[in-house]
Amino acid sequence: MIGLGFDKFLSRFVKHKAAVLCLFFVLAVIAGGIFAPWLAPNDPNKIELKLKLLGPGGQFPLGTDHLGRCILSRLLYGTRISLGSAFLVMSFSLTIGTAVGIFSAYRGGRIDNLLMRLCDIFLSFPSLVLVLVIIGVLGSGMVNVIIGMILVQWLWYVRIIRSLVLSIKERTFVSAAKVAGTSDMKIIFRHILPNVLPQLIVLSTLDLGSLILHFSGYSFLGFGVQPPTPEWGAMIEEGRRFIRSAPELMFYPGMLITLIVISFNLIGDALRDVLDESVT
Amino acid sequence: MLMEVVELKKNYLSNLSLMRKNTAVVKAVDGVSFSVGRDEVVGIVGESGCGKSTLARQLVRLEVPTAGKIYFEGEDISLLKGTSLKNYIRSCQIIFQDSLSSLNPSLKIGDILKEPLVNHFKLSKQEIHRRIAYMLEKVKLGAGVLERFPQTLSGGELQRVNICRALLLTPRLLICDEIISSLDVSIQASILNLMKELKKEFGMSLIFISHDINVVRFISDRILVMKRGRIVEEIDNKNREYQVRHPYTKKLFQSLPVSHPDKRVV
């Protein structure tokens, strides 16, 4: 990474104490999602109406919801979908966006111009509207929401990556590599990609938070995850009707989303600071 | 004759738009003709923005000429593509002004120096190491630089790395585009002397581009004076007697600081 060894990178990153804390929190939540089958005290989908709206304690550490399902278990299993879908959307849209962005910037000329105008057209719509249109065509459901989000999200990355590549492409070392006989493919993978990678990492970390928020939002609106599948946004929606009698039904998933989004933002900020330092 | 350039032109369109037609044309290089002999050092001098660098970039085909021909050992290289272009570039290398920016900041010097050898030859690891070590010694750098990143080296060291990279392909013609202008004066002298030595040792031709007529006078056999994309005067530098005619050249010579007012050359 821009001539920065991993140990040096790490020693600078740990100076950002809040970000380190956030990183541990995020890792803990991810671990909770991965090991949900072993960690969850109860079956997240088992309805027991006799045990509905119980307070925390005993068999149910965080209590139960309006159908008597274990809230902690639902949160743990919900992590898989809420975080998993965000990672999925991120990795697909970033890959497509990077490929198209590099191609567009490196080729230049008419193709570049055409691609950018196409991007402009799509980006002039609010992304919520575009995703709703795509869901309207494909039908609601988790997979369709993810597809819709990828289709909208990659356009943003094309623009950003294109501008990053354009600035790198003009640096002399790319000319020097050409004169050394390096092929275009090798120039892209050896000289351009490693130099935009730090910014890409910062960008994707910062965006992960908003993707989680968006996905939960679609579930909240009833487009994404269908009941009884546990998901944070859907849990908020289900708890909404009991906000007076049992506000904790909304509080737990809401708090989790808030903390995760803040964490990703702080980690992203810290990464940017560390990498900025290394450039100057 | 190693290289012959005939009426070379490069125009830039200043306005690339979907809707409008391209209007303004900037003539960066406007009909330049010259030749470079075997073992000869040709200096090109001119103010910044006169098209020196564009000319240099065209000679190694980083820019495609708008018009004109470039003959290298009798073959027109101005429209070459693919493998034949790659083969030509092997015998005609360039070194740029900005020594730091010429090196990829995310690669170690050792990896940067391997690149031209890997691209052009099928060599064993030992052979690559042997050649790099040999050439590092020629540019007077220690083997310690191989493990370091570009931004940890000094300006002079960086430019030596760039020279080393160009020489690893043993070019017949080496183009030096303002290679010492970003260095401080004491290092400028050592790099200039190094270039003289290397030129003698490897028997290559040089095109030495600078805005500083003193530097060009020191190293060149022949000097081309460039202004606004054209060559306005050609000066034989071998016997160091200058009979300049063009007013711009006179100005250039007059601008030189001299040790005594009576010693002005023009």
Nearest chain B alpha carbon to A110: B18
**Which residue segments constitute the domains of chain A, with CATH numbers given?**
78-279 (1.10.3720.10)
CB A245 within 8 A of CB A189: no
Question: In which region does residue A52 sit, left (phi positive, over 0), alpha (psi from -120 to 50) or beta (all else)?
Answer: beta
The CA distance from B232 to B112, in Å, is 39
User: Considering CB atoms only, which of A175, A183, A190 is closest to B96?
Assistant: A175
Q: What is the ipTM of this complex?
A: 0.87
Q: Work out the pLDDT band at A279, boundaries 50, 70, 90.
A: low
Q: How far is CA A89 from the centre of its chain?
A: 7
- Residues B204-246: pLDDT tens digits? 999 999 988 888 988 999 999 998 889 988 888 876 667 777 8
- B15: pLDDT strictly greater than 80: no
CB B97 within 8 A of CB B155: no
Which B-chain residues 97-116 have CB contacts (< 8 A) with chain A? 98, 101-107, 115-116
Q: Do B107 and A190 touch (CB under 8 A)?
A: yes
The CA distance from B224 to B240, in Å, is 14
pTM summary value: 0.81
Residue B24 is classified by DSSP as: -
Is the bond into A44 cis (omega within 30 degrees of 0)?
no
Q: Do B102 and A2 touch (CB under 8 A)?
A: no
CB A66 within 8 A of CB A51: no
- A4: pLDDT strictly greater than 70: no
When scoring B62, B63, B104, B152 by the number of chain A Cβ atoms within 10 A, the one with the most, hence best to mutate, is B104
Chain B: give the shortest CA distance to residue A177, in Å.
8
- Residues B160-192: pLDDT tens digits? 999 999 999 999 999 999 998 888 888 999 999
Q: Give the range with max mean pLDDT: A30-44, A213-227, A250-264, B228-242.
A: A250-264
CB B155 within 8 A of CB B182: yes
- Residues of A within 8 A of B89 (CB-CB) are 178-179, 181
- Lowest mean pLDDT: which of A162-171, A202-211, B79-88, B234-243? B234-243
- Residues B64-116: pLDDT tens digits? 899 999 999 989 998 888 889 999 999 999 999 999 999 998 899 999 999 99
Chain A: give the shortest CA distance to residue B162, in Å.
9
Chain A: give the shortest CA distance to residue B62, in Å.
7
Q: Is the sign of the CA dihedral A170, A172, A175, A181 positive or negative?
A: negative
CB A271 within 8 A of CB A205: yes
pLDDT at B114: 94
Nearest CA among B132, B134, B156, B159 for reference residue B146:
B132
- Residues B34-44: pLDDT tens digits? 999 999 999 99
Across residues A178-192, what is the average pLDDT?
A: 92
